[in-house]
Amino acid sequence: MSAPSPAPVFQLPPLILHPFAQPYDPVRLIEGSRAGIILRGLLPQGELDNDELERRLLDGRYCEISMLFYVGKDVLRWARQCQEAVQRAGVAPEEGYCAESFIALLVENTPQKVDQKLRSWGVQEYRRIFARAVGLHAVFRDLPPPELLAGEFVLQYHRFADHLYACRQQLQPFRPAKPEQFDFEVYASGEYARLLEQEWDRL
Residue 72 falls within a domain, yes or no? yes
Instruction: Read off the pLDDT of each residue in 167-173 and give the average, rounded to a whole number.
Output: 93
Do residues 14 and 113 lie in contact, with contact meaning Cβ atoms separated by under 8 Å? no
Q: Which range marks the domain in which residue 82 is found?
A: 65-197
10 in any annotated domain: no
3-state secondary structure of 14: coil
Which three-class secondary structure state does DSSP give residue 182? Answer: strand
Element (H, E) at 188: strand 186-188
Residue 191 is assigned to a structural domain of this protein: yes
pLDDT for position 1: 46
CA gap 121, 97 in Å, rounded: 30
- Asked whether residue 50 is domain-assigned, the answer is no
Longest Cα–Cα distance of the chain, Å, equals 80
Total tally of structural domains belonging to the chain: 1
Task: Write down the pLDDT at residue 35.
Answer: 81
- 192 part of a folded domain: yes
Neighbours of 5 (CB within 10 A): 6
Q: What is the pLDDT of residue 133?
A: 96
pLDDT per position as a tens digit, 21-45: 565 577 887 887 888 888 776 777 7
CA distance 145 to 147: 6
pLDDT in tens, 45-85: 777 777 888 898 899 999 999 999 999 999 999 999 999 99
Instruction: Provide the pLDDT for residue 49.
Output: 75
Q: Interior CA angle at 108 toward 106 and 111, to 5°?
A: 50
Give 166 or 20, the one with higher predicted confidence.
Answer: 166
pLDDT in tens, 95-131: 789 999 999 999 999 999 999 999 998 889 999 999 9
Contact 192, 16 (CB under 8 A): yes
CA 139 – CA 136 distance, rounded (Å): 6
User: Could you say which DSSP state residue 147 is in?
Assistant: G
Structure confidence at residue 186 as a pLDDT band (50, 70, 90): very high
**168 alpha carbon, distance to own chain's centre:** 14
pLDDT single digits (tens) 124-155: 999 999 999 999 999 999 999 999 999 999 99
- Residue 3: pLDDT above 60? no
Beta-bridged to residue 182, according to DSSP, are 10
